[in-house]
Amino acid sequence: MSTLLHSAPTSSPSFSRIITPRFAFAPITRISLRNGVRSKAIEAVKLENGRPSASEFVVSGSGNAIPSYVVAPNARVQDLVNRNDTRLRIFSGTANPALAQEIACYLGLELGKIKIKRFADGEIYVQLQESVRGCDVFLVQPTCPPANENLMELLIMIDACRRASAKNITAVIPYFGYARADRKTQGRESIAAKLVANLITEAGANRVLACDLHSGQSMGYFDIPVDHVYGQPVILDYLASKTICSDDLVVVSPDVGGVARARAFAKKLSDAPLAIVDKRRHGHNVAEVMNLIGDVRGKVAVMVDDMIDTAGTIAKGAALLHQEGAREVYACTTHAVFSPPAIERLSSGLFQEVIITNTIPVAEQNYFPQLTVLSVANLLGETVWRVHDDCSGGIEPYSSLGID
Amino acid sequence: MSTLLHSASTSSPSFSQITTPRFAPITRISLRNGVRCKAIEAVNLENGRPSASEFLVSGSGNAIPRYVVAPNTRIQDLVNRNDTRLRIFSGTANPALAQEIACYLGLELGKTKIKRFADGEIYVQLQESVRGCDVFLVQPTCPPANENLMELLIMIDACRRASAKNITAVIPYFGYARADRKTQGRESIAAKLVANLITEAGANRVLACDLHSGQSMGYFDIPVDHVYGQSVILDYLASKTICSDDLVVVSPDVGGVARARAFAKKLSDAPLAIVDKRRHGHNVAEVMNLIGDVRGKVAVMVDDMIDTAGTIAKGAALLHQEGAREVYACTTHAVFSPPAIERLSSGLFQEVIITNTIPVAEQNYFPQLTVLSVANLLGETVWRVHDDCSGGIEPYSSLGID
Give the model confidence (pLDDT) of A42-95 as tens digits.
333 333 223 333 333 222 233 333 333 333 343 434 434 443 455 698 999 999
B378 versus A119: the higher-pLDDT residue is B378
- Distance CA(B155)–CA(B160), nearest Å, equals 9
Asked whether the beta carbons of residue A276 and residue B274 sit closer than 8 angstroms, the reply is yes
pLDDT of the residue at B119? 84
Q: Report DSSP letters for B372-384, one per residue.
A: E--HHHHHHHHHH
Residue B253 is given by DSSP the state: S
B244 versus B208: the higher-pLDDT residue is B208
Average pLDDT, chain B: 77
- Distance CA(A144)–CA(A147), nearest Å, equals 5
Asked whether the beta carbons of residue A188 and residue B401 sit closer than 8 angstroms, the reply is no
CATH code of domain B231-355: 3.40.50.2020
Please state, in angstroms and as integers, the Cα–Cα distance from residue B191 to each residue in A221, B141, B182, B198, B217, following that order.
Answer: 11, 12, 11, 11, 10
pLDDT of the residue at B332? 94
Task: Please state the rounded mean pLDDT for residues B336-353.
Answer: 92
Please state, in angstroms and as integers, the Cα–Cα distance from residue B371 to each residue in B77, B91, B139, B331, following that order.
Answer: 40, 21, 19, 10
Checking DSSP bridges between strand A274-279 and strand B166-171, what pairing results, if any?
Answer: unpaired
Other beta carbons within 10 Å of A99 = 27
CA-based nearest residue to A169, from A128, A204, A121, A221: A204
Checking DSSP bridges between strand A57-59 and strand A65-66, what pairing results, if any?
Answer: antiparallel
Task: Please state the rounded mean pLDDT for residues B317-322.
Answer: 91
In the three-class reduction of DSSP (H, G, I as helix; E, B as strand; rest coil), residue A155 is classed as helix
E strand or H helix that includes residue A161:
helix A147-163
Q: Which of A184, A199, A201, A281 to mutate to test the interface with B (most CBs of B within 10 A)?
A: A184
- Distance CA(B286)–CA(B187), nearest Å, equals 24
pLDDT of the residue at B168? 96
**Highest-confidence segment of A8-17, A165-174, A287-296:** A165-174
Task: Please state the rounded mean pLDDT for residues A213-233.
Answer: 89
| Backbone φ/ψ region at B49: left (φ over 0), alpha (ψ -120 to 50), beta | beta
Domain ranges of chain B: 55-181+188-227+377-387, 231-355
Write b or e for each residue in A122-140: b if 16 or more Cβ atoms lie within 10 A of its Cβ, otherwise e.
Answer: eebebebeeebeebbbbbb
The interaxial angle of helices A377-388 and A97-106, nearest 10 deg, is: 60
Asked whether the beta carbons of residue B215 and residue A182 sit closer than 8 angstroms, the reply is yes
Q: Report DSSP letters for A306-373, one per residue.
A: EEESS-HHHHHHHHHHHHTT-SEEEEEEEEE---TTHHHHHTSSS-SEEEEETTSPPPGGG--TTEEE
- Residue A220, min C-alpha distance to chain B (Å): 6
Task: Please state the rounded mean pLDDT for residues A98-113.
Answer: 92
- Size of chain B, expressed as the number of residues it contains: 402
Q: Note which residues in 122-181 of chain B have CB less than 8 A from chain A.
A: 180-181
- Distance CA(B69)–CA(B88), nearest Å, equals 24
Q: Which of A209, A226, A259 to mutate to test the interface with B (most CBs of B within 10 A)?
A: A259
pLDDT band at B335 (very low <50, low <70, confident <90, very high): very high
Task: Please state the rounded mean pLDDT for residues B153-172.
Answer: 93
In the three-class reduction of DSSP (H, G, I as helix; E, B as strand; rest coil), residue B170 is classed as strand
Residues 6+ apart with CB under 8 A from A264: A232
B65 versus B330: the higher-pLDDT residue is B330
Do the Cβ atoms of A262 and A285 come closer than 8 Å?
A: no
In the three-class reduction of DSSP (H, G, I as helix; E, B as strand; rest coil), residue B75 is classed as helix
Q: Which of B200, B257, B272 to mutate to test the interface with A (most CBs of A within 10 A)?
A: B257
- Write down the architecture of domain B55-181+188-227+377-387 according to CATH: 3-Layer(aba) Sandwich (3.40)
- Distance CA(B250)–CA(A87), nearest Å, equals 55
pLDDT of the residue at B283? 63
Residues 6+ apart with CB under 8 A from B396: B21, B23, B25, B380, B384, B390
**Highest-confidence segment of A169-178, A181-190, B187-196:** A169-178
pLDDT band at A305 (very low <50, low <70, confident <90, very high): very high
Give the model confidence (pLDDT) of B97-142 as tens digits.
999 999 999 988 998 989 888 888 899 999 889 989 999 999 999 9
pLDDT of the residue at A114? 95
Checking DSSP bridges between strand B287-291 and strand B272-277, what pairing results, if any?
Answer: antiparallel
Task: Please state the rounded mean pLDDT for residues B311-340.
Answer: 92
pLDDT of the residue at B19? 35
The mean-pLDDT minimum among A135-139, B134-138, B234-238, B384-388 falls in B384-388
- Distance CA(B67)–CA(B74), nearest Å, equals 18
Average pLDDT, chain A: 76
The mean-pLDDT minimum among A66-75, B163-172, B363-372 falls in A66-75
State whether residue A190 sits within 8 Å of chain B by CB.
no
- Distance CA(B369)–CA(A38), nearest Å, equals 60
Q: Which of B274, B275, B396, B399 to mutate to test the interface with A (most CBs of A within 10 A)?
A: B274
CA-based nearest residue to A218, from B214, B228, B253, B208: B214
Protein fold of A230-359:
Rossmann fold (3.40.50)
- Which residues make beta-bridge pairs with A57? A43
Chain B residue with CA closest to A197: the answer is B218
Task: Please state the rounded mean pLDDT for residues B365-375.
Answer: 93
Do the Cβ atoms of A358 and A378 come closer than 8 Å?
A: no
Other beta carbons within 10 Å of A279 = 21
Interior CA angle at B61 toward B59 and B67, to 5°?
110
In the three-class reduction of DSSP (H, G, I as helix; E, B as strand; rest coil), residue A304 is classed as strand
Other beta carbons within 10 Å of A284 = 7
- Distance CA(A383)–CA(A229), nearest Å, equals 8
Q: Evaluate if residue B368 carries a pLDDT over 60.
A: yes
- Distance CA(A132)–CA(A86), nearest Å, equals 8
Task: Please state the rounded mean pLDDT for residues B179-189.
Answer: 82
pLDDT band at B269 (very low <50, low <70, confident <90, very high): confident
- Residue B32, min C-alpha distance to chain A (Å): 28
CA-based nearest residue to B16, from B47, B52, B53: B47
pLDDT of the residue at A64? 36
- Which chain B residues are within 8 Å of A256, Cβ to Cβ? 257-258, 261, 272
Protein fold of A86-228+378-390:
Rossmann fold (3.40.50)
pLDDT of the residue at A29? 35
Other beta carbons within 10 Å of B239 = 13
Task: Please state the rounded mean pLDDT for residues A376-396.
Answer: 78
Task: Please state the rounded mean pLDDT for residues B246-250.
Answer: 90
- Residue A400, min C-alpha distance to chain B (Å): 11
The reply to whether domains A86-228+378-390 and A230-359 share a CATH topology is yes
Asked whether the beta carbons of residue A217 and residue B215 sit closer than 8 angstroms, the reply is yes
Do the Cβ atoms of B374 and B232 come closer than 8 Å?
A: yes
Query: First CA to last CA across chain B, in angstroms?
Result: 31
A187 versus A49: the higher-pLDDT residue is A187
State whether residue A202 sits within 8 Å of chain B by CB.
no
pLDDT of the residue at A400? 56
pLDDT of the residue at B106? 92
Task: Please state the rounded mean pLDDT for residues A132-139.
Answer: 92
pLDDT band at A280 (very low <50, low <70, confident <90, very high): low
B303 burial (CB, 10 Å; 0-12 / 13-18 / 19+) is buried
Q: Evaluate if residue B208 carries a pLDDT over 90.
A: yes
Chain B residue with CA closest to A190: the answer is B218
- Distance CA(A394)–CA(A398), nearest Å, equals 6
- Which residues make beta-bridge pairs with A211? A229
State whether residue B257 sits within 8 Å of chain A by CB.
yes
Chain A and chain B share a number of CB contacts under 8 A equal to: 100
Checking DSSP bridges between strand A249-253 and strand A274-279, what pairing results, if any?
Answer: parallel
Please state, in angstroms and as integers, the Cα–Cα distance from residue B333 to each residue in A64, A119, B33, B176, B308, following that order.
Answer: 58, 56, 16, 13, 12
Q: Residue B43: what residue type?
A: V
pLDDT of the residue at A225? 93
Q: Report DSSP letters for B326-346, one per residue.
A: EEEEEEEEE---TTHHHHHTS
Residue B281 is given by DSSP the state: B
Asked whether the beta carbons of residue A216 and residue B265 sit closer than 8 angstroms, the reply is no
